[in-house]
């Protein structure tokens, strides 16, 4: 088979000449094709069948132990001008990058099959959706792409109609960390990735296309490609508000996207609808609102910590037809990870479980599953025009300083709040875990161009006639003196979302502080929660002196973008710094007196 699109055929031929595969397979996305791939991977040990009674059609994949997460230091944005990639990206000149990676691709598919994987990011008939083709030599990647995207014949038909697509070339190569690169060429709308078979390194539709290339395209076309979940909150009156939320990797997007309301809320008639758990493409509609689609069709979610108590919807979603990566096994071949009841027998590397070797499941173990299997999956996830966004929420892991929730006073302040986001690093990327770093809009690893230009792009949406979402910041991860999380989180996060939606509709009250609007304790429904006065004080305190130091640090961070930093954002930082200085002055005078 080949395509009716000459440019696609030519590219496949070129790649085949370079990589020298034994065979070429054009993916049609059919059930038969998927079944055949699974059988083949089961035969060669790539997939291990799980207990068919408890987990029908579920498989375990063990990746190479050195290939378990995204590798940010090997992820490059290759623009002609290094300043266009910005200090937020690793950069290489396009010609050098192509030469370096093509040398690794030479002959790398000998003895393997080259799969041509046409895919569509977003509902197949949505004008907001964009298509791509991934060439890969990994059947595991093909199977994951089938779950995570609209993959196969309908996508190919759209590509042939439109004539344009993002080119993604992937090979697992030798799975050698020293011969591993994930390179982006935004000016050519292309991606080249070699040496990893894992998640965001290898499923090129996800972070590489939908975020890095997508954000670059979005800037020139006037939309936003963001690392955000999309959730619909239906109140007892039957109105649904859609909220988009950006939290860094492994900071709670999947959990918030499918939360189960606390009992009192369920009884009152609140419902939660899941549109997406990781990526959001937003575009201004004719009515001035931002309309959002989830470009993905599945979840590639963090397994550890997922349980009947934290995320029962996820547990129901992954009870069948799921690929698990790097989880542990029980004696009867059920998938297991930290946070589940029961005991592991085999760890994620296939060794007999021994606590001396660390956790049984890798901390970045994941499940791949179709979004449609989620009990709260919304039909609106297929809506061609997307869903209207009422509120944008930023958040991260902040053990101190940052209150449970606050609201930005306007769009420009909200952009500052997003740009200033900080969070402790997690196991989703290789490197140290638990280190506080700035992660603007949760896009540090994913923004395909200079953050200075990106902030300016965000600010540019504030135009006459725009009916922009309100912007909020949340922190589920505040710790008390005992080192434990103060806020119960998970389902109880709906209490915070209720306030957020109330602010959007004008129903909820708030108190103004130098950092934004905070709910008074009466403005938030805390009924049924056991939070003592001290916990409440911690969750809602704004320590002006500590915040002044934070905002000064934010100022230094903004300076790192030099002349690409929009002046409007600098003005905003100075406005907040001045408000804090004023708020802190009486306190300092009292201390001095
Ligand atoms: P990526 O897929 O990497 O982008 O991650 P994500 O943002 O979707 O994170 P996810 O929802 O998978 O959560 C990651 C970890 O955070 C899990 O171990 C969760 O149990 C934990 N977590 C999620 N929500 C909360 C919360 O409200 N409170 C606390 N304390 N932990 C949470
Ligand atoms: C993340 O790291 O934000 C993920 C997982 O969602 S990956 O697909 O590896 O990027
Ligand atoms: Mn993510």
Q: How many residues does the chain have?
A: 593
Q: State the closest ligand 1 atom to the C-alpha of 300, by its place in the atom list counted from 1.
A: 2
264 alpha carbon to ligand 3 midpoint, in Å?
Answer: 31
Q: Are 420 and 556 in contact (CB under 8 A)?
A: no
CA 256 to the chain's CA centroid: 12
**According to the model, what pLDDT value does residue 521 have?**
80
* In a domain? residue 345: no
Could you count the other beta carbons within 10 Å of the beta carbon of residue 150? 24
DSSP H or E segment with residue 281: strand 280-284
DSSP for 545-578, please give it.
HHHHHHHHHHHHHHHTTGGGS-HHHHHHHHHHHH
The maximal CA–CA distance of the chain, rounded, in angstroms, is 84
Same domain, 208 and 237: no
Report how many domains make up the chain.
Answer: 2
Q: Give the DSSP H or E segment for 136.
A: strand 130-136
Domain of 96, in residue numbers: 2-46+74-222
> Ligand 2 within 6 A of 428 CB?
yes
Query: Which residue matches tokens 């109330």?
Result: 502
Cβ–Cβ < 8 Å for 385, 285:
yes
Q: Who contacts 13 (Cβ-Cβ below 8 Å, separation ≥6)? A: none
Task: Kindly state whether residues 279 and 142 are assigned to the same domain.
Answer: no
Q: Are residues 124 and 254 both part of a single domain?
A: no
Answer yes or no: is 454 within a domain: yes
Which residues does 141 contact at the CB level (< 8 Å), separation at least 6? 115, 117, 134, 170, 197, 202, 203
- Distance CA(194)–CA(141), nearest Å, equals 13
Please say whether the beta carbons of 151 and 203 come within 8 A: no
The verdict on 204 and 100 lying in the same domain is yes
489 plus 504 within the same structural domain: yes
Q: CB–CB of 511/521 below 8 Å?
A: no
Ligand 1 atom at minimum distance from 304 CA: 18
Predicted local confidence at residue 591, as pLDDT: 65
Closest ligand relative to 307 C-alpha: 1
H-state helical runs in 81-173: 82-85, 94-105, 139-148, 153-162
DSSP letters, 20-45, are: --SEEEE----HHHHHHHHHHHHHTT
Q: Please tell me the distance from the alpha carbon of residue 561 to that of residue 573, in angstroms, as a whole number.
A: 14
Q: Is residue 319 part of a domain?
A: no
Residue 585: what pLDDT?
76
Whether 386 and 245 map to the same domain: the answer is yes
C-alpha to C-alpha distance for 301 and 318, rounded to whole angstroms: 10
- Distance (Å, whole) CA 146 – CA 203: 10
pTM value? 0.98
What pLDDT is attached to residue 593? 54
Structure tokens of 327? 């989880």
Q: Whose CA is nearest to atom 23 of ligand 1?
A: 252
Q: 29 lies in a domain?
A: yes
Residue 584: its pLDDT value, please?
76
Strand partners, 116: 26, 135
Report pLDDT for 590: 66
Task: Return the best residue to mutate from 250, 367, 529 for the ligand 1 pocket (most ligand atoms within 8 A of CB).
Answer: 250
- SS3 percent helix, strand, coil of the chain, rounded to 5, is 35, 20, 40
Is the same domain home to 115 and 260?
A: no
567-592 helix and 411-419 helix, angle to the nearest 10 degrees: 80
Tell me if 461 is assigned to some domain. Answer: yes
Residue 479 included in any domain: yes
447 is catalytic: no
Provide the pLDDT for residue 566: 98
DSSP H helix total and E strand total for the chain: 17, 29
pLDDT tens per residue across span 342-397? 999 999 999 999 999 999 999 999 999 999 999 999 999 999 999 999 999 999 99
From the list 78, 208, 251, 280, the catalytic residue is: 251
Q: Are 223 and 281 in contact (CB under 8 A)?
A: yes
Using CA atoms, how far residue 570 sits from 1, 534, 573, in Å, is 55, 35, 5
Which tokens is 195 given? 């040496």
Closest C-alpha among 311, 245, 316, 309 to residue 275:
245
Last residue of a domain, one of 166, 195, 222: 222
Say how far apart CA 448 and CA 219 lie, in whole Å: 10
Within 8 A by CB and 6+ apart from 592, the residues are none
**In a shared domain, residues 521 and 391:** yes
Q: Are residues 279 and 215 in the same domain?
A: no
Does 260 lie in the same domain as 209? no
Q: Which residues pair with 118 in a beta bridge?
A: 133
- Out of 249, 276, 325, 433, mutate this one to test ligand 2's pocket (max ligand atoms within 8 Å of CB): namely 249
Identify whether residues 511 and 534 lie together within a single domain.
Answer: yes
Q: Pairing between strand 181-185 and 75-77?
A: parallel
Judge whether 109 lies within some domain: yes
67 token code pair:
């290939």
Q: Residue 189's domain is classified under what CATH number?
A: 3.40.449.10
* Separation CA 62–CA 361 (nearest Å): 10
**At which of 188, 222, 256 does a domain end?**
222
Rounded Cα distance between 122 and 297, Å, is 8
Q: Which CATH number covers residue 441?
A: 3.90.228.20
* Residues lower than pLDDT 50 in the chain: none
End-of-domain residue from the set 163, 194, 222 = 222
Pocket of ligand 1 (CB under 6 A): 247, 249-255, 277-278, 301-302, 304-305, 310, 428, 476-477, 485, 489-490, 493
449 in a structural domain: yes
Contacts of 430 (CB under 8 A, 6+ apart): 68, 69, 70, 71, 72, 73
91 and 209 belong to one structural domain: yes
φ/ψ bin of 431: left (φ > 0), alpha (ψ from -120 to 50), beta (otherwise): left
Atom of ligand 1 at shortest range from CA of 248: 7
433 CB-contact burial (10 Å; exposed 0-12 / middle 13-18 / buried 19+):
middle
From 278, 305, 434, 486, mutation site for ligand 1 pocket: most ligand atoms within 8 A of C-beta: 305
d(CA 233, CA 259): 10
- Pairwise CA distance, residues 465 & 486, whole Å: 41
């Amino acid at each position: 088979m080949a395509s009716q699109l000459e440019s696609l055929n030519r590219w496949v031929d070129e790649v085949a000449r370079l990589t020298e595969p034994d065979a070429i397979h054009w993916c049609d996305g059919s059930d038969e094709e998927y079944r055949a791939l699974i059988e083949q991977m089961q035969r060669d040990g790539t997939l291990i069948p799980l207990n068919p009674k408890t987990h029908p059609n579920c498989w375990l994949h063990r990746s190479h132990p050195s290939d378990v997460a995204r590798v940010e230091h090997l992820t490059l944005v290759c623009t002609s001008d290094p300043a266009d990639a910005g200090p937020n990206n690793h950069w290489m000149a396009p010609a050098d990058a192509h030469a370096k990676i093509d040398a690794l691709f030479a002959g790398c598919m000998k003895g393997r099959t080259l799969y041509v994987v046409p895919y569509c990011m977003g509902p197949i008939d949505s004008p907001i959706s964009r298509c791509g083709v991934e060439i890969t030599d990994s059947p595991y990647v093909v199977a994951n792409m089938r779950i995570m995207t609209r993959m196969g014949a309908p996508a190919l038909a759209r590509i042939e109609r439109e004539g344009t697509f993002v080119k993604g070339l992937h090979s697992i190569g030798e799975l050698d960390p020293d011969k591993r690169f994930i390179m982006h060429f935004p000016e050519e709308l292309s991606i080249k990735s070699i040496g990893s078979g894992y998640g965001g390194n290898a499923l090129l539709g996800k972070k590489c296309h939908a975020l890095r290339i997508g954000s670059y395209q979005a800037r020139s076309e006037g939309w936003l490609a963001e690392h955000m979940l999309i959730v619909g909150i239906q109140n007892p009156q039957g109105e649904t508000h859609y909220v988009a939320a950006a939290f860094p990797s492994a900071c709670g997007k999947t959990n918030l996207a499918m939360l189960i309301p606390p009992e009192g809320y369920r009884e009152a008639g609140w419902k939660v609808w899941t549109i997406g758990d990781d990526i959001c493409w937003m575009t201004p509609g004719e009515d001035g609102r931002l309309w959002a689609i989830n470009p993905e069709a599945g979840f590639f979610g963090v397994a550890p910590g997922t349980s009947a108590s934290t995320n029962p919807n996820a547990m129901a979603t992954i009870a069948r037809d799921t690929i698990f990566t790097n989880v542990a096994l029980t004696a009867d071949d059920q998938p297991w990870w930290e946070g589940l009841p029961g005991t592991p027998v085999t760890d994620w590397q296939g060794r007999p479980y021994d606590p001396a070797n660390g956790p049984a499941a890798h901390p970045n173990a994941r499940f791949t599953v179709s979004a449609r299997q989620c009990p709260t999956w919304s039909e609106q996830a297929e809506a061609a025009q997307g869903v209207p966004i009422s509120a944008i929420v930023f958040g991260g892991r902040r053990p101190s300083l940052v209150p449970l929730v606050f609201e930005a006073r306007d769009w420009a302040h909200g952009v500052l709040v997003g740009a200033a986001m900080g969070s402790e690093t997690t196991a989703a990327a290789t490197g140290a875990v638990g280190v506080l770093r700035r992660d603007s809009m949760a896009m540090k690893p994913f923004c395909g161009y200079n953050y200075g230009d990106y902030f300016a792009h965000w600010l540019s949406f504030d135009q006459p006639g725009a009916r922009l979402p309100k912007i909020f910041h949340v922190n589920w991860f505040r710790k008390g003196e005992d080192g434990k999380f103060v806020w119960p989180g998970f389902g109880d996060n709906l209490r915070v979302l209720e306030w957020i939606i109330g602010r959007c509709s004008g129903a909820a009250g708030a108190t103004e502080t130098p950092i934004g609007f905070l709910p008074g304790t009466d403005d938030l429904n805390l009924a049924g929660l056991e939070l003592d006065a001290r916990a409440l004080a911690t969750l809602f305190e704004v320590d002006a002196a500590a915040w002044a130091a934070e905002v000064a640090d934010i100022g230094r961070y903004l300076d790192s973008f030099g002349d690409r930093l929009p002046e409007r954002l600098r003005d905003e930082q100075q406005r907040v710094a001045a408000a804090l200085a004023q708020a802190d002055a009486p306190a300092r005078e009292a201390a001095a007196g």
